[in-house]
Each structure stands twice: as structure tokens, then as C-alpha cells.
A and B are shown apart, each in its own frame.
Chain A
Amino acid sequence: MSEEIKFKIDGKEIIAKKGQTIVEAARENGVYIPTLCNFKGVKPKGSCRICSVKVNNRFMTSCTTPASPGMEVYSNTDEISDLRKSIVELLFVSGNHFCPACEKSGNCELQALAYKYRMMVPRFPYSFKKKGVIATGPKLLKEQDRCILCQRCIKTIKDEEGRRYYAFKNRGNKLEVVMDEVMSKTISDELAKQAMENCPVGSIIYKEIGFAEPIGTRKYDKKPIGSNIETN
């Protein structure tokens, strides 16, 4: 029995392995579907909704939906692009994403998606409470007003015993991701830099090396987000 599953995204035939999600299969077949909360090695949860696609006239999160034979998926349509754009806009108004002075500018996935979906100005009113900067640790600071609550840091930044450096604090509109104060004092350089790398926005910043990487030479300065996946 064949392990291959054949389905279509925007009319293009996709060959997936059994158990793969739509976004995984798309990636392997050269089709870019944007993601933010989804991260390699972490169980997908579909919380940010940026990977939404249309299947059988229903919106589905492609990071949690398994590919199935004969599926007709729509991703790169005007309707879905506008939906994704509005999600990006909502994330922008939920925080203080001031790109010009952000160390992550050029390497920021949210900023890159804003460019991809041609966001000029959010359609929604700004609606965030100022949370400020937590900078008590020696290597990392946490800019709470830029955090999009994706949980990538919570799920991926762990010590050798599997203890997490980051966790949720509070609930509802007071929800924040914070770093364990005690553990923050002993985090290795390598893991601290990994934490900054894994953060899709400029919320986790490695201290004291601001702007050492020149503007114009950064990841998304050179090529738009997703261009490393897209083959056509």
C-alpha cells in the first residue's frame, strides 16, 4: 500500500507522506504557507491562525490539518491573503511593534509578513496596555510589548534537564510570557542567542549587541519571507 498522499494546493499537485500536515507537505513541495506559532520540532497548535487555508469552503489551520487524498486546498487567493493581512494587522495593534529601533528589524517574521501582505497601516485601533521591558537577567531582555504569545520560546528553550526558561503568567488580556528570573542568570550564551533566534518578533533580545548586524544585510532584507521555500 502506498504511503504517498496526493492532493492539490491552488491547483498544484502535492505529494505528501502519510501523517504530514498540509503546511509540512506544502513546504516539501515548494509551496510557502506562512507560519508564526508553528515551529520545527514543536507540536502544532494552530493558535496564531496565520497559516489558515480554505478546504472544502472552510477555513482550516494548515499546521494542524493532516493532508488527505484528493483534498483541494486554497492558499494563495485574494480572500485568504486579506485574512492573513488582517491577522498581521491585529498582531501589530496588539503590541508596540516599532520597527525602526527594533534590533530584530530585518530578521523579524512578523515584519516580513507585513511586507509580504503589503500592510501599510493597520485597519484596527491600537489596543495594548503598556507592559514594559524586563531586563533583570544578564544576557537577555524581554520586551513585553512586542510579544505575540506564540509560545515558541516556552516550547523550545529548555535546559539539559528539560526545564523551561519561559512560561505564561496571568490570564486573559493580562497574559504574558516571562522568563524565570533565577534560571535567566545562568543561561548559556548559546541558548540565549537561540532564544532570540527562535522568537519570531523582537520580544527576546540578546543584550548589548544591538545593531551589530548592519541593516540591509539581514535575512529578510535580501529575500522576502518564504522565498527559500517557493520554487515557482
Chain B
Amino acid sequence: MPKKITIEPVTRVEGHGKVTIQIDDFGNVKDSRLHIVEFRGFERFVQGRPYWEAPVLVQRLCGICPVSHHLAAAKALDVIVGAGTGYGLTAVGEKMRRLMHYGQFFQSHVLHFFHLSSPDFLFGIDGDPALRNIVGVAQENRELAVQGVMMRKYGQEIIYHTAGKKIHGTGAIPGGINKNLSLEEKELLLNGADPLNADKMVEWSVAALDFFKSYHAANKDMVDTFAAYPSNHLSLVREDGALDIYHGVLRAVDNDGTIILDDVDYQDYDKYIEEEVRNWSYMKFPYLKHLGKEKGWYRVGPLSRLNTCDFIPSPLAQKEFELFKAYTNGKPNGMSLHYHWARLIEVLHCAEMIRDLLKDPDLQNDDLVVKGEKLHKGVGVIEAPRGTLFHHYEIDDDDKITLANLIVSTTNNNQPMNTAVNLTAKAFMNGKPEITEPMMNAVEVAIRAYDPCLSCATHALGQMPLEMTIVDGNNNIIDNKIK
């Protein structure tokens, strides 16, 4: 008899997802799917709007990392207003945007690790659900919780002083930025009262990384085998191969580390990347055209960025990167839980970059905007915390948007998350027709590693539960839970 059990509170995933797991007659997992069941339609309703509204309008996709959408749209419009791609802006224009982006990365990664994922590490996947949350973290390890909250606050302060607001700011405009950083703001962010200063953020980033490494050392088998699988990886890299989350060229590597896409100017992204629509999900499935749908799917995000780049241009993060690379003998890392490791290395990188950038006098320059000959098409690509983010706009002669195409970070990770769900379901549920809470959380841990933003990916309002259904070989519902 089918039954439906509702478990509250809602799960620690950004967005509304649903997992269906098919069980065969022998009680084994036959198939699984992560469905994204919401539709938002941003690409359609920005049509007809003046182009300069796009960076402010489209960022409303998300309240977690709106800066990424804000900057990706602004980068696309830089092309349209004739300011060129990436390096065409004035020094203050580019550096203020970079500072905004590092602040955004820092707070988003910290939110994910401390608020959403650290409960799994502190209490275990099968820990008491009543404790397995940020409040439980605060009770169990006050220092860790305080660090998480204050680090996120610091990132938000960076965003406030560069974008004008902590959420949904307006700092980046086509061709540049609308403000510089005053000396008072610089002093506040660089040398603010403890703990909200740049040096403390570097120190705490190292501590967070040490926390994960200790957990890894104590749970090596689980961390290394949980949803581990081979795949391609894609990201932006700087022209010299460095990790660069603001600007660069597209690079992809396969599971052996062979470069399968390199030095691609993202203005031509549509020559290399295509999206497949499947009838059971509102989230599309992107893939590399030249490899086809079956072999061309790829992962994005922190793990992929560290798999594609050659080095990290900040000293402490570079040392950690070397350890990370050595762990897999220089080969790409396909272990899903190592996303957390990569994410925390990026947190450290961002902290270092923020500290160094704040000392740059270019941030006080007044030449905020540059413009040139107007074009009718522009593509902006940026590394959002969750992975590579594509914004593509076309305008008419009256400056109104005629086309918008967004390939959001989480969309790029659609097939990878489905693969991770499938592997985890098989590992935890084979031969067990009843869903237990720890099994469900294991599936969530797999999804959570990718830090998905399902609202962004479907371009959701309301609550964000994860719904899980187990069906038998005849599609009869055996169990259904909403978490």
C-alpha cells in the first residue's frame, strides 16, 4: 500500500528537488532520477526589457549567490556596450568587480560548508536529525559555528561595500562599476575590529580547511568512496592556466587529465556546448558537443576548477592545492565529497585575494566606466561558487533584449548529480525497500556535495523540500517521503 510520510524541517538543499528511485523485483536499485520540478522563466520575461536592467533583474534568480548572476550579466553587457571582454574595463572597474566576486564566493562557500554541510561531518550521515543542523553545530562546537557565521558576515560586508547592498546590489553596470572603494571602507574591511578583518579571515580559512582534513583523515574510506566516479570537468581558467573565478578561457579535462577543450573564448560557447531537454525535469542537461550526449557531460564547481587549473595564484591556497593534487597523483579527482575539500581551498584563496586586493590603490580610482562601439550580442561567463555560469544576451536597435540564454552552474552539474544519486542509492538502499532517514540523508549528502542551487537552475519560490519516492518495477509507489 503506498504511503506518504512528511518529515520536517526542510532539507539543507537550495531549491526544490525530488528523487525517484526504482527498485526491481529483487529489491535492488534499478534506476534513480533527481527531478527539478519548478519553472521560473527568467529567460523569457527579460525579453523586451532594456539591456542595462539585466544585471539587476536576472540576479533575482537567487538570494544565495546573486552576485554571480549580476556579474555574468554585466560581463555580457560589457561586450554589448563595446567595453570588450574581461580585461577591457578600467583597473578600478575590474578590481571592484573581482573584490565583489571574491566576497561573494567567500560567503557562499562558507554558508555551504558551515551552515549546510558541517552538520553531516560533526554528527555523521546517520546522526540525530534533530541535531544535524546549524543550531546543533552551535551547541556541539560553538567556535566552529561562530567562525562560520562571522566569516559569512565578512563576505557579505565585502559585497555591501562593492555592490551597494548585501543581497541584490547594483554595483556592476555595463562597462564598469558605479562606485569605487573609499579609504574608510578599505580600512574597515582590511583592518576592522576583530574578527571582521582580512587577516582573521585567512586564519579562519586555514582552520576550516584543517577541520575538513582532520575529518577526512579519520573517515578516509567513506570520504574517498562516497559517490566517487569518473567524469569530465569544465571551468574557466586564466590564459596561463591559473585558477581565475572572474575571467578566463574555457578548459575541460577528461578523467585521465587529458585536455579535451582549451583556450575557448566563451563568446563562442554555443559552438562547444549544447543542452539536452528530458521530459522528466525542468533542468536541462548540458554536454560538450564534440563528445555527444553520452560522453560529453561534465562536472563543474570547486572540484572541477581544481581539476582543470594548473596552479592557484595565492601562496597558502597553492600549498593546499599541491596537497590536493598529490592525493590523486596529479590526476583529476572524481570523489564527490572532495568537493568540500576543493571548496575550502577556494575559501582560503578568496581570503588571500581579498586581503591583497584591499591593499591595491587602484580601488580608489575614479574612472569607473568605459564604453565603445555598441554590439548586438554579448556573452558573459564567470565561475560562480557552484560552477561555470553562462549568460548570453542579444539586443535590438532600440536597446531591448531580444534573446537571453542562461546556463546556470547547477544545470551543468545535472548529470553528475544524477550519477551521484544513483551511486549512493545503490550503495545504501540495495535490497532495502523501506526508506530510513539515514538512507535519505545519504542521498542528500551526495546532492549536497555539489552545493546545488535548484532555484537558479530552473531559473522556485516557496519552500524547498526534497521529495523522495521509491517505485517497484511496475511503477507502483512503495514509499514516498518529503523532507
Q: Give residues in A with beta carbon < 8 Å to B.
A: 100-101, 103, 132-133, 135-136, 141, 205, 207-217
CA distance A178 to B57 in the complex (A): 25
Shortest Cβ gap from A28 to chain B (Å): 36
Question: Does B56 reach chain A (CB closer than 8 Å)?
Answer: yes
Cβ B165 vs Cβ A216 within 8 A:
yes
Question: Does B75 reach chain A (CB closer than 8 Å)?
Answer: no
- Which among B56, B60, B171, B398 is the interface contact of A210 at CB below 8 angstroms? B56
Give the total of B residues in contact with A, Cβ under 8 Å.
24
Question: Does B53 reach chain A (CB closer than 8 Å)?
Answer: yes
- Which among B165, B173, B398 is the interface contact of A136 at CB below 8 angstroms? B398
Most B CB within 10 A of own CB, among A132, A208, A216, A217: A208
Cβ B48 vs Cβ A212 within 8 A:
no
Cβ B53 vs Cβ A215 within 8 A:
no
- Which among B60, B81, B173, B398 is the interface contact of A211 at CB below 8 angstroms? B173
CA distance A133 to B48 in the complex (A): 7
CA distance A209 to B53 in the complex (A): 10
Question: Does B123 reach chain A (CB closer than 8 Å)?
Answer: no
Shortest Cβ gap from B53 to chain A (Å): 5
Q: Give residues in B with beta carbon < 8 Å to A.
A: 48-50, 52-53, 55-57, 60, 81, 164-165, 168-171, 173-174, 178-179, 369, 398-400
A215: chain B residues at CB < 8 Å are: 164-165, 169-170
Given the contacts A135-B400, A216-B164, A211 and B48 also touching, CB distance less than 8 Å: no
Across the A-B interface, give the 9 residue pairs with the lowest CB-CB distance, nearest first.
A210-B52, A101-B57, A135-B398, A215-B164, A211-B170, A214-B164, A215-B170, A101-B56, A214-B179
CA distance A33 to B400 in the complex (A): 38
B170: chain A residues at CB < 8 Å are: 211, 214-215
Cβ B171 vs Cβ A214 within 8 A:
yes
Cβ B178 vs Cβ A132 within 8 A:
no
B52: chain A residues at CB < 8 Å are: 103, 208-211
A136: chain B residues at CB < 8 Å are: 398
Given the contacts A101-B56, A133-B49, A215-B165, A208 and B178 also touching, CB distance less than 8 Å: no
Given the contacts A100-B60, A133-B49, A135-B398, A212 and B164 also touching, CB distance less than 8 Å: no
Sampled A-B contacts (21; CB under 8 Å): A100-B56, A100-B60, A101-B49, A101-B57, A101-B60, A103-B52, A103-B53, A132-B48, A141-B50, A141-B398, A208-B174, A211-B56, A211-B173, A212-B173, A212-B178, A214-B164, A214-B170, A214-B178, A215-B164, A215-B165, A217-B164
Shortest Cβ gap from B269 to chain A (Å): 25
Shortest Cβ gap from B408 to chain A (Å): 19
